[in-house]
Amino acid sequence: MDSGIGLLAATAAVRRLRPDADLVLSLDPDGMPWGPRTPEDVTQRALAVAEAAAAHRPDALIVGCNTASVHALTALRARLEPDLPVIGTVPAIKPAAAGGGPLAIWATPATTGSPYQRGLIRDFAAGVRVTEVPCPGLAEAVERADQAAIDAAVAAAAALTPEDVTTVVLGCTHYELVAERIRAALHRPGRGPLVLHGSAGAVAAQALRRIGARPAPDASAEGRLTVLLSGREGPLPQAALAYPEGRHLPLTSPAH
């Protein structure tokens, strides 16, 4: 679940591990974007989207959204667990800080500066210089596949990122869909390679661990795909096809 197509990153990661899995993608086009909403509003939207997915009786629910995880994860787990394991998406601050270099966290305005993110910085990045970079409009631009708006939002965030930063945490799942454009915008001549840390792979692996599942031995197996748009079954949003993670789904997931 996510406000929009940011969940494609985790979806693609699950698909790589279990191509036979039946997937339910629960999006909220009626309420998108969640980033500028109040924590209370995000929680209510997230609960509605999660319950729409839960009605399909999945084995696990991945909250493929950093903003929802920051503000609504406790409420989601209180509502759905233990019957339905809920796996949140946490900004990858811990592995990023392990490198020791100065790092930046790109995130939505709702996540940037939140007590949750500040707590992760305190717990896992003590002694590392961390710059929190708000990225207004970037998730929305990715959601629309608006190429000019993506470039403008990435450039604005890059301008707020210190020159000596060697590691960037992608603190919104939408950003993982344009990771290489972010890398290009932050390229500095003469500087070593920039390391980007997303969360999709770790989240997918954790979901499989929670339900005791192993990677499928038959890579040719094809699971079904169900798309929920603010609770209504519908097609994958057209903008999803602008990204490899979205284009892969119709090819490997016959619509349910």
* Given the residues 7, 172, 194, 196, the one annotated as active site: 172
The 10s digit of each residue's pLDDT in 65-95 is 888 988 899 999 999 999 999 999 988 999 9
Which CATH code is given to the segment(s) 93-198?
Answer: 3.40.50.1860
Percent of the chain with pLDDT over 90: 73
Residue 250: per-residue pLDDT: 61
* The two structure tokens encoding residue 51: 């319950």
pLDDT at residue 3 in the model: 92
Tell me what pLDDT residue 187 has. Answer: 87
Task: Kindly state the average pLDDT of the residues 221-235.
Answer: 91
Give 253's DSSP letter. S
Q: Half-sphere exposure of 219 toward its Cβ, with a 13 Å CA cutoff?
A: 2
Where do the domains of the chain lie?
5-89+201-252, 93-198
pLDDT digits (tens, 9 = 90+) for 137-195: 999 999 999 999 999 999 999 999 999 998 999 999 999 999 999 999 998 777 777 89
pLDDT value of position 256: 47
Architecture of domain 5-89+201-252: 3-Layer(aba) Sandwich (3.40)
Q: Which of 122, 199, 124, 185 is nearest to 157 (CA)?
A: 185
Following DSSP, what letter does each residue of 20-78 receive, concatenated? T--EEEEE-TTT---TTS-HHHHHHHHHHHHHHHHTT--S-EE---HHHHHHHHHHHHH
Q: Which of 52, 65, 72, 138 is catalytic?
A: 65
- Quote the CA–CA distance of 70 and 73 in Å, as a whole number: 7
Q: To the nearest 10°, report the CA torsion of 86, 91, 96, 98.
A: -50
Q: CA 109 to CA 113: how far, in whole Å?
A: 8
User: Looking up tokens 């500040």, which residue turns up?
Assistant: 118
Annotated catalytic, 65? yes
Q: Do domains 5-89+201-252 and 93-198 have the same CATH topology?
A: yes
Residue 154, classed as helix, strand or coil, is helix
CB 225 within 8 A of CB 23: yes
Three-state secondary-structure class, residue 133: strand
Residue 255 has pLDDT above 50, yes or no: no
